[in-house]
Amino acid sequence: DITPLSISLSPCINPKMAELGAGSLLLGDPAFNYQEAELNERLKRLYPAVNEDETPLPRSWSPKDKYSYIGLSQNNLRVHYKGHGKNHKDAASVRATHPIPAACGIYYFEVKIVSKGLDFLSSLLPLSPIPGWDKHSYGYHGDDGHSFCSSGTGQPYGPTFTTGDVIGCCVNLINNTCFYTKNGISLGVAFTDLPPNLYPTVGLQTPGEIVDANFGQQPFVFDIEDYMSEWRAKIHGMIARFPIGERLGEWQAVLQNMVSTYLVHHGYCATATAFARATETLIQEDQTSIKNRQRIQKLVLAGRVGEAIEATQQLYPGLLEHNPNLLFMLKCRQFVEMVNGTDSEVRCFSVRSPKSQDSYPGSPSLSPRHGATNPNLHSAGADSPTCSNGVTPPNKNKSHNKYPGVSSASSSSSSSPSSVNYSESNSTDSTKSQPHSGTSNQEETSDSEMEIEAEHYTNGVAENPSARIMNGTYKHQEILQAQDISLGNGVAGTDDSCASRQLCGGNQAATERMIQFGRELQGLNEQLCREYGKNVTHKKMLQDAFSLLAYSDPWNCPVGQQLDPMQRENICSALNSAILESQNLPKQPPLMLALGQATECVQLMARVRSGSCSFARVDNFLH
């Protein structure tokens, strides 16, 4: 319904989504930009659960969905009436650009009556509305204070309103009710059983009538956040008091089991054992199995994928054979790690340390990640470079350096970068108190070779301004002994700040091995294609991996993201899950399943228009 001055909600027969916000024309106006930023911030705070990609919030009146008698100005926030207003046929209305998303939970907008106009029209109804607009509209009229719902006959509702009044409309999408406010005072429920997808709407019928909308551009007169806080508390109370029924007694056991399985899944062996002891629960998997998984995970996370594959094949024969996709993923990663210089095949292809299989003490200290990024992990790595590991600070390395001249040259980025590598790795050696004559010899030779290779393959590596340490030159034994520390500190040596990084650790033989491995990988891909048909994912993976070689500085190239140690985590958990599955254990810990399910459930609630999702967000409960 549209009568003289009504604030209402209207549904739409043909919702026109994807309309541009009003502000797009006026981006140059700094005041407007400021207002826009403030609006965005306020909307984000009011409606955190709304995904604006799916369901945009109303931000202005729609210049398309309006009567011709309606004029818009001031970024489509001001509405004025420009008809003659002689009879009810001249009534006109305009609605907002978008319907109110259910995920708002509670939605609110205000309209300020700038001018009531020449009030020569008294109440007139029913109106002749534009087709499709009157059905199921819900309004509050200024002239008589009546509320109008669909039918067109008014009900006494609230006071009348006029020039200077601020009228607010709050839609509660949890219980599907609506109330209006006048100058910050709630007038009480106007409508119940509201349908979904309503648009904020305003109707005018008097010449000179002007109203300004506030969709969040300015602070509201009514304290809507206080109202929201009540509903948040209500929903949280509802969740807290949700009846659990006869399973009540098992509640503690369920929780303990969740914690225990989570610890076991990620291989926190010692913690899991201690927890099981304290809670007198049983761990399903046996100790050796957990430790094996733990060891394989550590290898993957350390970038030593080749060894991880080897260990998996040895401990879980047939596993990778039955999972060719997983194997291919692992091999691709191995190739990436070769480029990185972390894989043992390029680090030390002559040495095979049998000890590596039984000398992993403790549990991995790298915490598993749940999201796409983990700033903690990142910063931990940055804070503690390899060489330090809490033992020696980087500047001290220089004094231990066997080649001080080269080292200083590297810092000016003009000489062979590989020498830096040596100096760093040597100093690292010395910090581990493992003087190893063989190491320096071998590296010395590789140094000269690398200079040629570097020129040959990746010209400009030397000019790489960002010096990085490579941990690629670690000896196997060193790793094993320094296991806890080096793994713990964010996988030793992929650090941004210390020395320059080089392809395959700057080793020519290693580079050759890498090239060869690349060919094998290509072969594997072709073989898989023959056996299982074309696989787009594989092709993409392979392409991305090989692309690394096309850049002079693979770490700073469009596909350089692959070299980030954090990329190991996905494959690591995939491998872990595969192993667990092969042992007839759940491939996901129940805790993560529950979390994922809850998150998904809340998102689903938004899609099926259950407003309470706004106040039942999972992150409210994660601290």
Partner 1 sequence: MACLLEAPLRISVLSEVTATSRHYVDRLFDPDPQKVLQGVIDMKNAVIGNNKQKANLIVLGAVPRLLYLLQQGSSSSELRAECAVVLGSLAMGTENNIKSLVDCHIIPALLQGLLCPDLIFIEACLRCLRTVFISPVTPVQLLYTDPTVIPHLMSLLSRSQRTQEYITQIFSHCCKTPEHQTVLFNHGAIQNIAPLLISPSYKVRMQALKCFSVLAYENTQVSMTLVNVLVDEELLSQVFVRMMQRDQPIDMQLTAAKCLTYMCRAGAIRTDDSCIVLKTLPCLVRMCSKERLLEERVEGAETLAYLMEPDVELQRIASVTDHLVAMLADYFKYPSSVSAITDIKRLDHDLKHAHELRQAAFKLYASLGSNDEDIRKKITETENMMDRIVSGLSESSVKVRLAAVRCLHSLSRSVQQLRTSFHDHAVWKPLMKLLQNAPDEVLVMASSTLCNLLLEFSPSKEPILESGVIELLCSLTQSDSPALRVNGIWALMNMAFQADQKVKGEIVRALGTEQLFRLLSDPDSNVLMKTLGLLRNLLSTRPHIDQVMSSHGKQIMQAVTLILEGEHSIEVKEQTLCILANIADGNTAKELIMTNDDILQKIKYYMAHSNVKLQLAATFCISNLIWNEEDGSQERQDKLRELGFVDILHKLTQASDPNLCDRSDTATHTSDLSPAFLQILSSIDRQTGTNTCTLIVL
Binding site for partner 1 (CB under 8 A): 158-159, 179, 182, 184-189, 223, 226-227, 229-230, 232-233
- Nearer to partner 1 by C-beta: 81 or 222? 222
Q: How far is the CB of 185 from partner 1 (least distance, A)?
A: 5
Contacts of 510 (CB under 8 A, 6+ apart): 338, 341, 345, 346, 347, 349, 446, 472, 504
Cβ at position 224, least distance to partner 1 in Å: 11
Q: Pick the closer one to partner 1 by CB: 233 or 550.
A: 233
Minimum CB–partner distance for residue 254 and partner 1 (Å): 29
Question: Could you tell me the smallest distance in angstroms from the CB atom of residue 617 to partner 1?
Answer: 16
The single-letter DSSP state of residue 372 is S
* Residue 568 Cβ vs partner 1, minimum distance, rounded to whole Å: 44
The closest alpha carbon to 93, from 148, 48, 44, belongs to 148
* Residue whose CB is less far from partner 1, 187 or 380: 187
* Contact yes or no for 149/195 (Cβ under 8 A): no
CB of 142 to partner 1, least distance (A): 14
Q: 31-66 burial string, b = 16+ CB within 10 Å, else e?
A: ebeebbeebeebbeebbebbeeeebbbbbbbbeebb
Start-end of H helices in 459-589 = 476-481, 483-488, 508-532, 536-547, 568-582
**Residue closer to partner 1 (CB basis): 148 or 222:** 222
* Whole-angstrom distance, CA of residue 343 vs CA of residue 31: 55
C-beta neighbour count of 580 within 10 angstroms: 19
Is-contact 309 300, C-beta < 8 A? no
What are the tokens at 291?
């430790």
Per-residue tokens: 539: 């092709």
Residues paired with residue 73 on neighbouring β-strands, in sequence order? 78
Give, as one character, the DSSP assignment of residue 549. G
Cα–Cα distance, 411 to 425 (Å, whole number): 15
Spell out the SS3 assignment of 45-63: HHCCCCCCCCCCCCCCEEE
CB of 236 to partner 1, least distance (A): 9
| CA-based nearest residue to 431, from 468, 467, 389 | 389
Q: Shortest approach of partner 1 to residue 429 CB, angstroms?
A: 54
Rg of the chain on CA atoms, in Å: 33
Nearer to partner 1, 186 or 583 (CB): 186
Instruction: Kindly state the smallest distance separating residue 159's Cβ from partner 1, in Å.
Output: 5
CA–CA distance, 63 with 45 (Å, rounded to integer):
27
For the chain, the straight-line distance linking the first and the last C-alpha, in angstroms and rounded, comes to 47
